A and B are shown apart, each in its own frame.
Chain A
Amino acid sequence: QSALTQPASVSGSPGQSITISCTGTSSDVGGYNYVSWYQQHPGKAPKLMIYDVSNRPSGVSNRFSGSKSGNTASLTISGLQAEDEADYYCSSYTSSSTQVFGGGTKLTVL
């Protein structure tokens, strides 16, 4: 199972919006509405930000939203804040009953 494809880096200024893409295949992202997104600050454990493509866990800011079209899922962060600077990973359930992560995207807030 190959890793999902994410851009290595994205950047934006405070207050702006950014979108991170996550591309897979019909055997993972395209086949199920089971895409999740995780935020990871340096030296910390990942934190769940979005599950089932577009659902936010309790306590996660509504500035974070998710969507999916075909084999590509997206995470959008609106009203960028300095504390959003982190690595972001997508993950998907697969047809092999496994899970697969994306390679990760480093978000820089300029």
Chain B
Amino acid sequence: EVQLVESGGGLVKPGGSLRLSCAASGFTFSNAWMSWVRQAPGKGLEWVGRIKSKTDGGTTDYAAPVKGRFTISRDDSKNTLYLQMNSLKTEDTAVYYCTTEVTGGSGYYFDYWGQGTLVTVSS
């Protein structure tokens, strides 16, 4: 059974930093592209960014609102995905979901989701 478990959320002041983790199990993590998707309270889903598998270069892509502030990384030896968030703004307040991203010839979509972790940016 695929499981994605996020952790690391909490309350942080504007301008501060936070690192989220996502522990993966039930599939071959090293072969997977992984994405972060967030949802502000009462709002819709917003793609944050992705990291490709090392086989596909291990590169990252980011949405415009977080580019230069957020960094996605992975530790395949620990089956763990990370989201380092710096220079946080109040508008970054959201539930952050870790997802697997199916890609390439099979399409581009998010098939498995974690339960999410809440990040609140407030003074």
Q: Which residues of A contact B (CB under 8 A)?
A: 1, 3, 32-34, 36, 38, 40, 45-48, 51-52, 55, 57, 87, 89, 91, 93, 97-104
Contact = CB atoms under 8 A, between A and B. Distances in A.
Contacts of B97: 45-46
A3 B44 CA distance: 10
A99 B111 contact: no
Contacts of A98: 47, 61-63
B114 A34 contact: no
A97 B50 CA distance: 10
A38 B111 CA distance: 10
A108 to B, nearest CB: 17
What is the interface residue range for chain B against chain A? Answer: 20 to 34
Contacts, number: 68
Nearest to A104: B44
B110 A91 contact: yes
Given A98-B47, A99-B101, 8 more contacts: A3-B44, A40-B45, A47-B113, A52-B107, A91-B47, A98-B63, A101-B46, A104-B44
Contacts of B61: 97-98
A99 B44 contact: no
A1 B63 CA distance: 8
Nearest to B4: A45
7 contacts: A33-B107, A36-B109, A45-B116, A51-B111, A52-B106, A98-B62, A99-B101
A38 B110 contact: yes
A102 B44 contact: yes
